[in-house]
């Protein structure tokens, strides 16, 4: 199938693109940085998801995965408005089979930077909107909302022993996800799945359900 992924030069986006390539799909990527993927089945476009008028012509996309994101004060413009622009350009058309928005557990809990949480909360609402409109094409639309993921972007936290221990105290499974795990979820929700739609799937090792319930350990 013809797959479009945004934010493919590193982290989750790169892992998602490589996972689909390994399964024999044709993958197109859009990123503000140069390509870091060397595969004959991959085509890379340098572009900014905010620049709607300058987006490349990629017709008949079958699976769209909105991954591009930031935490730099431009969160609403990139994480939400950019995602909407990409979806309206490539996703709302009769060849689409599935749209997946990479959100964040923070969109559910609000426990991160204000603009980032707001942008990801908007993604959750927009996902439901697109699910309703995409149904006419038989397409699904969901959001995949990770908690902590092991990427170089979070090296500062991962390498800080005190911070890391505090985070692990809040995470029942005592680890963060790998980018490959998130890529597997992305594949399942867009290729394997054909009936679940309009949902936001939280993948955070249980962090968002940890409410510090105090009770004797009954084992």
For the segment 28-59, what is each residue's pLDDT rounded down to a tens digit? Answer: 999 999 999 999 999 999 999 999 999 999 99
The encoded tokens of residue 36 equal 């870091």
The answer to whether residue 58 sits within a structural domain is yes
Q: Which domain holds residue 88?
A: 2-150+178-206
The mean pLDDT value for 58-75 works out to 96
Helix (H) or strand (E) holding 181, with range, is: helix 179-187
CATH code of residue 101: 3.40.50.720
Angle between helices 179-187 and 11-22 (to 10 degrees): 50
For residue 155, being part of any structural domain is answered with: no
Domain annotation covers residue 168: no
- Sequence-distant (≥ 6) Cβ neighbours of residue 179 within 8 angstroms: 11, 12, 14, 15, 149, 150, 151
Given a cut of 70, whether residue 215 has pLDDT beyond it is no
Closest CA to 189 of 125, 119, 107, 97: 97
**Structure confidence at residue 211 (pLDDT):** 64
- Mean pLDDT for 135-141 is 98
Q: Is residue 195 part of a domain?
A: yes
Is 83 within a domain?
Answer: yes
Distance of alpha carbon 30 from alpha carbon 13, whole angstroms: 10
Asked if residue 82 has pLDDT above 80, the reply is yes
Q: Report the pLDDT value the prediction gives residue 153, as an integer from 0 to 100.
A: 81
Residue 132, pLDDT score: 98
Say how many domains are in the chain: 1
Report pLDDT for 177: 98
């Amino acid at each position: 199938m013809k797959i479009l992924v945004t934010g493919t030069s590193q982290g989750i986006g790169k892992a998602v693109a490589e996972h689909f390539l390994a399964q024999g799909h044709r993958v197109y990527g859009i990123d503000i940085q140069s390509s870091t993927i060397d595969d004959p089945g991959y085509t890379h476009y340098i572009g900014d998801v905010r620049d709607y008028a300058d987006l490349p012509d990629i017709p008949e996309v079958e699976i769209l995965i909105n991954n591009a994101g930031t935490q730099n004060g431009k969160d609403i413009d990139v994480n939400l408005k950019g995602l909407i622009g990409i979806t309206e350009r490539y996703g709302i058309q009769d060849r689409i089979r599935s749209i997946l928005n990479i959100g964040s557990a923070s969109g559910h809990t609000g426990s991160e930077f204000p603009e980032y949480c707001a942008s990801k909360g908007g993604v959750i609402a927009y996902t439901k909107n697109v699910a309703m409109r995409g149904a006419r094409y038989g397409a699904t639309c969901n959001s995949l909302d990770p908690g902590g993921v092991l990427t170089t972007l979070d090296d500062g936290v991962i390498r800080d022993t005190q911070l890391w221990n505090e985070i692990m105290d809040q995470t029942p499974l005592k680890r963060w996800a790998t980018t490959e795990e998130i890529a597997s979820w992305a594949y399942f929700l867009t290729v394997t799945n054909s009936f679940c739609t309009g949902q936001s799937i939280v993948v955070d090792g249980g962090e968002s359900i940890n409410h510090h319930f105090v009770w004797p350990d009954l084992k």
